[in-house]
Structure 1
Amino acid sequence: MTQNPGRRGFLLGGAVLGAGALVAACTSNEPAAQASAPAAAPAAGGANDAPGEKVVIGFSAPAADHGWIAAIAKNATDAAAQFSDVEFKAVEPTNDINQQISAVESLIQAKVDALVILPNDGEQLNQVARQAMDAGIPVINLDRVFPDKLSYRTWLGGDNYGMGVAAGHFIGKTLKDKGVSDPVILEIQGIATLPLTQERSKGFADALKTYGFSVTAQQDAKFTVESGTQVASNLLQAHKKIDAIWNHDDDQGIGVLAAIKEAGRDEFFMVGGAGSANAMRDIQADNGVLKATVTYSPTMAGSAIKLARLVAQGKGMSDLLEQEVPQSITLASATITKENVQKYLPLGFES
């Protein structure tokens, strides 16, 4: 999945948007200019989608060995295809740091008009992103953040802390409404050492605390189906009574749900994470333990392509008064339940 970018941007109150949709933030990294006349009214919604100057957008991301990452590439490709004025230049996806650096360098040498980069590791690709910016190529940093703000024009990503908060509130409120006291709440993380996982866990703990609850046991499952099965099996054996489970990742959730089915346990409910289509279908069917999932949508890649196009064409976002695209945009984490799942199904990715 992703490394935590920190909750640096303006947290947007909204849900997951479609592959081409943008989310608006309210701040810019540049000081407001003094003007003697009133600011011009923003363009009508959709005006920025009209064909403009032809731009070449380079794209680099990790290899699609995970459903979420595969959906990142698809959303980027689909968004670029919507515009006749965009030439999409994607390099071979890779999980090798040096290969990704070389691939980005090839895009710099090709003198693309903008770059969208989801780095395997923000710190290790920081320097090559800085090279692009120093060469006058604006970089849209997708999700895993570059530590040097001079290495990107705009950062766009999800809210890991917000995922935990959303999951914690759903579980906390559900248990309170049922009158459960001293509940057994389990947490199945992705990779425990990653900052993103730590942010998710902190948000979860903070939200549960508002209901007087806490996590009973916590274990990481490495973002894989196999580990999901193993970890869930261990937790089920260790806890004869469970009230709720939060599983951070719907991809590994396939294994978690398989272990639950194998054990024949159904006395608890579960919340997933990221918003996969298969998880949404399970929620819609409402015939198992999975009752909700909290989003961390790969549609952000489509939004990043739209942002790159606007920046390369010197445009702002038509719903904002400012003339420039914001420097940082944090997407909100929505809670998907059987009541609203139909709205989100078209945005789900296949695990």
Structure 2
Amino acid sequence: MAIQRRLLLIISFFAVAVSACNDASKQSSSAISASADAQKLPASNKTKKIALVLKTLTNPYFIEMETGARDAAKNLGVDLVVKMASQETAVEQQIQLVDELIQTKIDALVIAPSDSQRLVPILKKAQLAGILVINIDNQLDAATMKSQKMSPVTFISVDNQTSSYQSAKFIADQIKAPGKAAIIEGIRTSENARMRTVGAERAFAENHNLKLVAKETGNWKIDEAY
């Protein structure tokens, strides 16, 4: 079910991107809920060129995302370009990838930003070039967008705080005697990592047998987390 939901989200954001390419001024700052209706697109004589920029393909999550994106692009008649950094902490590399894509005159850019703040300036540059920007997975920082005078963007993702809370609560509910808990976080400047930490903290706090003794970042890397 998780993979199916993820693929449906992919189809949803491509549908939003293709539709909005016909009127880039109608951007929305609201989160988009995935639905089958999102696959219905208005007729267009031009094949839209959309770039998907991921954090990396060393994470199974993003491998599934690329697969879903390619399936959606085929179904929707989209010219898809996929780019990714070498690792999730390679923020400058992701910025460079976006800059290079701007020069190719794409119609829309769908991005899972490695950093919620540092990607804002280059994404504003994309907007100024007339490129529709769709934000997925990790939400851009609203305060940074405002300070950079970046136009609102559509954001598509899941409720990271709730999903983390439910996962951590399942674990916490198994603890019936006094014990200690630790949280291995993602990249701390990423909004999705922050919300997942908040959700886990809330779940652990509800069990009076548990004491949270440490929080360390694994930067989304399996080896570093280990």
What is the CA–CA distance in structure 1 between the aligned matches of 2:207 and 2:38, rounded to whole Å? 46
Percent of aligned positions that are identical: 23
Show structure 1 runs of 4+ deviating over 6 A.
none
Q: Amino acid of the residue matched to residue 129 of structure 2?
A: A
**SS of residue in 1 equivalent to 2:8:** coil
Deviation at 1:211, TM superposition (A): 4.4
CA RMSD of aligned residues (A): 3.5
- 2:11 equivalent to 1:20: no
Per-residue CA shift, 1:117-167, capped at 9, x if unaligned? Answer: 122223222111101112222100122333316255212233332233112
* Contact 1:168–1:207 (8 Å) recurs in 2: yes
* Contact 2:29–2:155 (8 Å) recurs in 1: no
Indicate the residue corresponding to 2:162 in structure 1: 162
Distance 1:151 1:142, change over 3 A: farther
- 2:110 equivalent to 1:122: no
Indicate the residue corresponding to 2:179 in structure 1: 184
How is 1:73-84 mapped onto 2 (pairs within 5 angstroms)?
Answer: 73-84=66-77
* Contact 2:52–2:110 (8 Å) recurs in 1: yes
What is the CA–CA distance in structure 2 between the aligned matches of 1:93 and 1:104, rounded to whole Å? 11
Select which of 56, 61, 67 maps to 1:63: 56
What is the CA–CA distance in structure 2 between the aligned matches of 1:121 and 1:174, rounded to whole Å? 34
Q: Amino acid of the residue matched to residue 62 of structure 1?
A: K
Q: Amino acid of the residue matched to residue 161 of structure 1?
A: Q
Indicate the residue corresponding to 1:110 in structure 2: 104
Larger radius of gyration: 1
Distance 1:57 1:172, change over 3 A: same
* Contact 1:127–1:151 (8 Å) recurs in 2: no
Indicate the residue corresponding to 1:153 in structure 2: 153
How is 1:123-272 mapped onto 2 (pairs within 5 angstroms)?
Answer: 123-147=117-141, 148=145, 150-175=150-175, 180=176, 182-191=177-186, 193-194=188-189, 196-220=192-216, 222=218, 223-229=220-226
Count of aligned pairs: 193
**SS of residue in 2 equivalent to 1:170:** helix
Select which of 64, 83, 87 maps to 2:79: 87
* Contact 1:58–1:114 (8 Å) recurs in 2: yes
What is the CA–CA distance in structure 2 between the aligned matches of 1:212 and 1:16, rounded to whole Å? 36
**SS of residue in 1 equivalent to 2:156:** strand
Deviation at 1:193, TM superposition (A): 4.4
Q: Amino acid of the residue matched to residue 185 of structure 2?
A: G
* Contact 1:146–1:152 (8 Å) recurs in 2: no
What is the CA–CA distance in structure 1 between the aligned matches of 2:55 and 2:62, rounded to whole Å? 7
Deviation at 1:116, TM superposition (A): 0.5
- 2:40 equivalent to 1:49: yes
Indicate the residue corresponding to 2:21 in structure 1: none
* Contact 2:108–2:132 (8 Å) recurs in 1: yes
Q: Amino acid of the residue matched to residue 184 of structure 1?
A: G
**SS of residue in 1 equivalent to 2:56:** coil
Deviation at 1:224, TM superposition (A): 3.7
* Contact 1:133–1:152 (8 Å) recurs in 2: no
* Contact 1:205–1:215 (8 Å) recurs in 2: no
Per-residue CA shift, 1:236-285, capped at 9, x if unaligned? Answer: xxxxxxxxxxxxxxxxxxxxxxxxxxxxxxxxxxxxxxxxxxxxxxxxxx
Q: Amino acid of the residue matched to residue 111 of structure 1?
A: K
Q: Which has the higher helix share?
A: 2
TM-score normalized with structure 1 length: 0.46
Q: Amino acid of the residue matched to residue 58 of structure 1?
A: A
